[in-house]
């Protein structure tokens, strides 16, 4: 396998424009002759589908939900970054680039990140023109806020519903093209395999989630925008249907999977309340601007929070990080919550929570002041927990939130399988080992609106493609394989449900491949995953049949893939003998518990090639060295 | 946090597919934790059904945070259940008492055929948007964002309509199965903004036309839709839609 990042030469600021000038173009007449499959209708997929169809390609778009508008992107709350510098506070493309690459702990490609910062402004223009109702000032001009510890205010937001509004904008643009006939739109169809012919991606296999019908689809290129794999942990802030199946099946067909161990764990989520828990809810990070995080100093302290006097409280973030205090980055906040709860200081019935206390902010600003800022979040908290956060501190705990890893792509967002492009959270490209707040929406839309439409055209213009044809035997082979897997799952009729297996898998990952990792723990995890996977294939109980709507069958297929991905995540975490971004290896931290990165040995993208599965997952590691020509990697410090 | 458990009796609509006739089945769940969400209670029921070789109850959901609009159960005759401004995925069992009987049905409407059990086909909503629920601005052709100032109040009003999650509760609640709140909300969102002006007439005519073609009924001002809307879309959207529709007819 050869990994060529295809980063254009020349100064950082000129790479993208130079590349655009050199890219091959297709005449409108020619575009009309070509077809593209887009899988996924989140920000990345909907924007790509709309833009490609506008250019004239014939697009087929697929998603799992009953409407493209329901993709997981809809749930994003906080905002989207762009360096417009409207507040005149000194922001620039360079600064957005620098913050993003530093935030990623120097584990991403300079050229990709710079391009992301460069096209971000156009996203805001596009969204506003579509009617996305961003927050505005009295003047009628756009408002910005500071987000995720940034020193400038560069985050555009639409109340707490930025993802919803941006997605509706992209979805509507897509539906307009459905109306013109340039897009064939297929909701409730799940991709189960990639079809590769002569080394090129030429189509996909889907299962119709209503009728169970298996279908073949051919095209000149396939664009995967299927989101992240956080649900491998069972509990996460992701929507219940988020999964890795499409990406994983592409991996098994030859696409390299990059940096699977990079998982972002968000510090402020509502804690687990019981075994029945099905997902975790994010509480906006902005709460840390006014809330103080603490635990009782004495693990045996049984008093109610308001009865615990100041001297018996441990404000651990403020004490350990005096200059950033409660506003330390996500990974630092999450790790410290784990440390104090592991030491027995956690609160609530399960002991797996810490307090986020607004008492002092309410004394200072009054209850109305706090309500004006966070009213909807407080209501949401009360609705879920039954507790009133104006009266008692919130209980929060970290939860899996975002996956930086994903399919490996080059500068053109093409995987190592020619014709297979990957965009949005499904690729690995721009966030290194840690994603900054408000930058995933930016990346998904940058990929879909402003990168793919050009780079995909370049690929098609450059390739000598035969006519797409589903009669090719490779389609039949892939379809039979997917069918056989479904039949096998249904035939097991074991004694443990898919949900139970998934929950058990999640527990292994959370304990050993979660907030902090150790060599021993990871080795144990690999073993545990293999054992549980074996049991899954012998003892899972999948109800019903394949020929109709059967959600537990859908889940079974997805969990089967999670079982394989999980092992690769542990393998990847094991080989990376350093701490970087969200990846903390216990062996590689300073005496004060700070992460120690090792640039000399680990400044690379770990791209894995699938070699087979035989009780054990066989994968070969390839390294794409990261070179820093324009910025100098420094150690992050928040002390 | 201490929690108490209760027994809940469920009467759930079961239907194999759109062609078959459905019926209610009853189930009893013990040990329902008050902190469970309503959908988690159904998850628990399904785990039991699967282990007893039964057929799990199908229902739609995805985000479980009240934003994607996938969930749309009708509970004791009320779309999304008893709690005001709350999608069923955000409803928690502490709103119920030990021994309660809860009747769960799909969002019924001629334009929403049942797929299985509580899952319905809402693709009619997609086709209404497809007809005109957008601003036709090609990627790359947008002007600098701040060249389009929007009065803050207007922007906020537009936002109030833009928050529709497309769940279809309005249709399920309406005695006429009208989709006027859904359609009106999208029209009002775009028609209130300067960006939406050039296409305002075509938009309202095409969307209303499509709504009728899909077999949704007319609005006779029952206002049941507003009462169940989990995000509080105001029924004034419908008045605006009517006004815009009449204006568009005469403008043409
Ligand atoms: C609660 C929450 C809040 C967030 N807030 C922010 C924020 O404020 N700012 C920010 O920048 N980021 C935020 N993020 C992250 C961001 O929302 C996501 O990373 C981003 O939306 C992902 O977009 P996407 O287009 O890549 O994928 P998704 O939106 O996940 O879409 C995936 C699509 O792929 C489809 N799909 C998946 N598998 C298949 C298959 N096998 N076959 C067919 N279709 C398939 C799905 O149906 C869906 O349409 C947040 C994330 C969460 C969980
Ligand atoms: S599941 Fe998304 S709104 Fe209820």
The number of domains in chain B is 2
Residues A369 and A489 grouped into a single domain: no
Give nearest CA residue, ligand 2 atom 3: B66
Residues 98-137 of A with CB under 8 A from B: 122, 124-131, 133-134, 136-137
Residues B97 and B138 grouped into a single domain: no
ipTM confidence:
0.98
Give nearest CA residue, ligand 1 atom 12: A440
* pLDDT at position A503: 98
CA distance A460 to A26: 8
Region A584-611: mean pLDDT is 94
Give nearest CA residue, ligand 1 atom 52: A76
Question: Given its phi and psi angles, is residue A313 left (phi above 0), alpha (psi -120 to 50 degrees) or beta?
Answer: beta
Residues B132 and B242 grouped into a single domain: yes
The number of the ligand nearest the C-alpha atom of A444 reads 1
A52-106: per-residue pLDDT in tens?
A: 999 999 999 999 999 999 999 999 998 999 999 999 999 999 999 999 999 999 9
Per CB-CB distance under 8 Å, the chain B contacts of A187 are: 123, 126
Confidence check: pLDDT of B251 > 90:
no
A570-591: per-residue pLDDT in tens?
A: 999 999 999 999 999 999 998 8
Count of residues in chain B:
252
pTM score: 0.98
Domain encompassing residue A566:
473-603
Residues B128 and B247 grouped into a single domain: yes
- Residue A295 bridge partners (DSSP): A314
Q: Which of A14-18, A463-467, A607-611 has the lowest mean pLDDT?
A: A463-467
| Residue A506 counted as domain residue | yes
B151-190: per-residue pLDDT in tens?
A: 999 999 999 999 999 999 999 999 999 999 999 999 999 9
Of A62, A57, A54, A188, which is closest to residue A130 (Cα–Cα)? A54
CA distance A555 to A75: 21
Residues A292 and A391 grouped into a single domain: yes
CA distance B218 to A458: 50
Residues B149 and B54 grouped into a single domain: no
The number of the ligand nearest the C-alpha atom of B42 reads 2
Confidence check: pLDDT of B222 > 60:
yes
A387 Cα to the center of ligand 2, angstroms: 22
* pLDDT at position B252: 63
Residues B154 and B230 grouped into a single domain: yes
Say if ligand 2 is within 6 A of residue B185 CB: no
Q: Which of A70, A202, A253, A330 is catalytic?
A: A330
Measured CA distances, A460 to A31, A201, A418 (Å): 9, 12, 10
The domain boundary residue, chosen from A382, A401, A420:
A401
Per CB-CB distance under 8 Å, the chain A contacts of B40 are: 276-278
Per CB-CB distance under 8 Å, the chain A contacts of B200 are: none
A26 Cα to the center of ligand 1, angstroms: 31
Of A211, A173, A180, which is closest to residue A41 (Cα–Cα)? A173
* pLDDT at position A373: 85
Q: Which CATH number characterizes residue B80's domain?
A: 3.10.20.30
Count of residues in chain A:
639
**Candidate from B36, B134, B145 with C-beta closest to A276:** B36
Percent of chain A with pLDDT over 90: 92
**Candidate from A54, A74, A134 with C-beta closest to B67:** A74
| Residue A566 counted as domain residue | yes
Region A369-390: mean pLDDT is 91
Domain encompassing residue B92:
5-115
* pLDDT at position A407: 98
Enter the tokens of residue A143. Answer: 């408002």
Per CB-CB distance under 8 Å, the chain B contacts of A277 are: 40
The domain boundary residue, chosen from B115, B141, B167:
B115
The number of domains in chain A is 2
| Residue A347 counted as domain residue | yes
Confidence check: pLDDT of A616 > 70:
yes
Of B18, B104, B46, which is closest to residue A543 (Cα–Cα)? B46
Q: B145 and A84: CB-CB below 8 Å?
A: yes
A407 Cα to the center of ligand 2, angstroms: 28
* pLDDT at position A150: 83
Residues B71 and B28 grouped into a single domain: yes
Q: Which CATH number characterizes residue B222's domain?
A: 1.10.1060.10
Residues 391-420 of A with CB under 8 A from B: 395
Q: B163 and A161: CB-CB below 8 Å?
A: yes
Q: A140 and B60: CB-CB below 8 Å?
A: no
Residues B127 and B230 grouped into a single domain: yes
Residues B14 and B52 grouped into a single domain: yes
Residue with tokens 């929690």: B3
The pLDDT confidence band at residue B212, using thresholds 50, 70 and 90, is: very high
| Residue A284 counted as domain residue | yes
Distance from CA of A142 to the nearest CA of B (A): 7
Give nearest CA residue, ligand 1 atom 13: A76
The pLDDT confidence band at residue B1, using thresholds 50, 70 and 90, is: very low
Of B54, B58, B84, which is closest to residue B71 (Cα–Cα)? B58
Q: A240 and B61: CB-CB below 8 Å?
A: yes
A190-215: per-residue pLDDT in tens?
A: 999 999 999 999 999 999 999 999 99
A461 Cα to the center of ligand 1, angstroms: 30
Residues B22 and B88 grouped into a single domain: yes
Say if ligand 2 is within 6 A of residue B10 CB: no
* pLDDT at position A355: 97
A396-434: per-residue pLDDT in tens?
A: 999 999 999 999 999 999 999 999 999 999 999 999 999
Confidence check: pLDDT of A638 > 90:
no
Per CB-CB distance under 8 Å, the chain A contacts of B46 are: 552
* pLDDT at position A148: 74
Say if ligand 2 is within 6 A of residue B71 CB: yes
Q: Which CATH number characterizes residue A540's domain?
A: 1.20.58.100
The upper half-sphere exposure of residue A399, i.e. CA atoms within 13 Å in the direction of its Cβ, equals 25
Say if ligand 1 is within 6 A of residue A514 CB: no
Q: Are A425 and A448 in contact (CB under 8 A)?
A: no
The pLDDT confidence band at residue A160, using thresholds 50, 70 and 90, is: confident
**Candidate from A141, A164, A384 with C-beta closest to B67:** A164
A530 Cα to the center of ligand 2, angstroms: 34
Say if ligand 1 is within 6 A of residue A282 CB: yes
Confidence check: pLDDT of B93 > 60:
yes
Helices (H), B135-223: 152-162, 169-173, 180-191, 200-213
Residues A369 and A276 grouped into a single domain: yes
Distance from CA of A73 to the nearest CA of B (A): 9
A502-555: per-residue pLDDT in tens?
A: 999 999 999 999 999 999 999 999 999 999 999 999 999 999 999 999 999 999
**Candidate from A139, A239, A277 with C-beta closest to B68:** A239
What's the mean pLDDT when you consider all of chain A? Answer: 96
Other Cβ atoms less than 10 A from the Cβ of A577: the count is 13
Angle at B76 between CA B74 and CA B81, to 5 degrees: 55
Confidence check: pLDDT of A149 > 50:
yes
Q: Atom of ligand 2 at shortest distance to CA of B87?
A: 4
Q: Which of A314-318, A633-637, B131-135, B156-160 has the lowest mean pLDDT?
A: A633-637
Q: Is A330 a catalytic residue?
A: yes
Enter the tokens of residue A507. Answer: 């527990």
Confidence check: pLDDT of B145 > 90:
yes
The domain boundary residue, chosen from B115, B138, B169:
B115
**Cβ neighbourhood burial of B146 (10 Å; 0-12, 13-18, 19+):** middle
Pocket probe mutation, ligand 1, options A39, A40, A155, max atoms within 8 Å of Cβ: A40
A400 Cα to the center of ligand 1, angstroms: 14
Per CB-CB distance under 8 Å, the chain A contacts of B230 are: none
The domain boundary residue, chosen from B84, B115, B146:
B115
The number of the ligand nearest the C-alpha atom of B167 reads 2
Distance from CA of B221 to the nearest CA of A (A): 28
Q: A277 and B190: CB-CB below 8 Å?
A: no
| Residue A305 counted as domain residue | yes
């Amino acid at each position: 396998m050869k990994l060529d990042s295809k980063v254009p030469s020349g100064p950082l600021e000129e790479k993208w424009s130079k590349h655009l000038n050199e890219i091959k173009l297709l005449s409108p007449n020619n575009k009309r002759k070509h077809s593209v499959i887009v899988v996924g209708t989140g920000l990345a997929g909907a924007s790509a589908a709309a833009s490609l169809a506008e250019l004239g390609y014939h697009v087929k778009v697929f998603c799992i939900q009953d409407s493209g508008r329901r993709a997981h992107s809809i749930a994003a709350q906080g905002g989207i970054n762009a360096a417009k510098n409207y507040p005149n506070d000194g922001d620039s493309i360079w600064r957005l680039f620098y913050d993003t690459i530093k935030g990623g702990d120097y584990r991403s490609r300079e050229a990709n990140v710079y391009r992301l910062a460069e096209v971000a402004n156009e996203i805001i223009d596009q969204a506003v023109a579509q009617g996305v109702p961003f927050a505005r000032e009295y003047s009628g001009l756009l408002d910005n806020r500071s987000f995720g510890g940034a020193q400038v205010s560069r985050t555009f937001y639409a109340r707490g519903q930025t993802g919803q509004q941006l997605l509706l904008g992209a979805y509507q643009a897509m539906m307009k093209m459905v109306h013109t006939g340039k897009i064939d739109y297929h909701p409730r169809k799940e991709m189960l395999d990639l079809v590769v012919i002569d080394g090129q991606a030429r189509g996909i296999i889907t299962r119709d989630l209503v009728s169970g019908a298996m279908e073949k689809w051919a095209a000149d290129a396939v664009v995967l925008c299927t989101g992240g794999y956080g649900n491998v942990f069972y509990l996460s802030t992701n929507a219940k249907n988020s999964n890795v199946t499409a990406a994983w099946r592409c991996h098994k067909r030859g696409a390299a999977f990059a940096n699977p161990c990079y998982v972002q764990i968000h510090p402020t989520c509502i804690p687990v309340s019981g075994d029945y828990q099905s997902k975790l809810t994010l509480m906006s990070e902005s709460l840390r601007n006014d809330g103080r995080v603490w635990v009782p100093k004495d693990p045996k302290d049984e008093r109610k929070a308001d009865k615990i006097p100041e001297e018996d409280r441990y404000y651990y973030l403020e004490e350990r990080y005096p200059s950033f205090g409660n506003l330390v980055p996500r990974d630092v906040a999450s790790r410290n919550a784990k440390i104090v709860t592991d030491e027995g200081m956690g609160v609530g019935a399960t002991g797996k929570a810490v307090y986020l206390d607004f008492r002092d902010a309410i004394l200072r600003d009054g209850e109305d002041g706090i309500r004006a800022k966070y009213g909807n979040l407080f209501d949401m908290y009360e609705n879920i927990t039954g507790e009133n956060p104006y009266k008692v501190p919130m209980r929060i705990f970290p939860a899996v939130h975002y996956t930086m890893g994903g399919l490996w792509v080059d500068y053109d967002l093409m995987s190592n399988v020619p014709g297979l492009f990957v965009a949005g959270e499904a690729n690995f490209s721009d966030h290194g080992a840690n994603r900054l707040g408000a930058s995933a929406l930016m990346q998904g839309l940058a990929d879909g609106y402003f990168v793919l439409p050009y780079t995909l055209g370049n690929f098609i213009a450059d390739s000598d493609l035969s006519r797409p044809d589903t009669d090719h035997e490779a389609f039949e082979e892939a379809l039979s394989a997917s069918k056989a897997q479904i039949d096998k799952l249904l035939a097991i009729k074991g004694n443990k449900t898919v949900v139970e297996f998934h929950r058990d898998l999640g527990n292994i990952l959370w304990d050993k491949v979660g907030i902090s990792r150790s060599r021993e723990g990871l080795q144990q995890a690999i073993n545990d995953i293999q054992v549980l996977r074996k049991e899954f294939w012998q003892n899972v109980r999948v109800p019903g049949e394949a020929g109709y709507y059967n959600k537990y069958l859908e889940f079974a297929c997805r969990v089967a893939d999670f079982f394989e991905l999980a092992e690769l995540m542990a393998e990847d975490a094991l080989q990376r003998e350093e701490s970087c971004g969200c990846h903390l290896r216990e062996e590689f931290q300073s005496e004060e518990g700070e992460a120690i990165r090792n640039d000399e040995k680990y400044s690379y993208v770990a791209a894995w090639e699938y070699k087979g599965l035989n009780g054990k997952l066989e994968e070969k590691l390839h390294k794409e060295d990261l070179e820093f020509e324009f910025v100098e990697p420094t150690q992050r410090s928040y002390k | 946090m201490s929690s108490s458990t209760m027994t809940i009796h469920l009467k759930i609509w079961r239907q194999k597919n759109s062609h078959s006739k459905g019926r209610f089945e009853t189930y009893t769940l013990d040990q329902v934790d008050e902190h469970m969400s309503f959908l988690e209670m159904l998850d628990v029921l399904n785990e039991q059904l699967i282990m007893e070789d039964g057929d799990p109850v199908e229902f739609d959901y995805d985000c479980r945070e009240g934003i994607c609009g996938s969930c749309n159960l009708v509970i004791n005759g009320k779309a999304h259940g008893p709690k005001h401004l709350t999608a069923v995925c955000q409803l928690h069992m502490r709103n119920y008492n030990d021994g309660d009987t809860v009747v769960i049905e799909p969002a019924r409407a001629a334009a929403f055929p049942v797929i299985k059990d509580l899952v319905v086909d809402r693709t009619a909503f997609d086709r209404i948007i497809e007809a005109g629920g957008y601003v036709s601005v090609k990627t790359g052709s947008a002007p600098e964002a701040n060249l389009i100032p929007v009065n803050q109040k207007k922007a906020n009003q537009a936002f109030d309509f833009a928050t529709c999650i497309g769940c279809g509760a309005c249709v399920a609640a309406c005695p006429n199965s009208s989709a006027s709140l859904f359609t009106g909300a999208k029209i009002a969102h775009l028609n209130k903004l300067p960006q939406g002006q050039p296409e305002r007439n075509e938009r309202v005519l095409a969307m209303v036309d499509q709504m009728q073609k899909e077999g949704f009924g007319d609005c006779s001002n029952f206002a049941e839709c507003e009462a169940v809307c989990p995000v509080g879309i105001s029924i004034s959207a419908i008045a605006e839609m009517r006004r815009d529709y009449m204006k568009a007819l005469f403008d043409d």
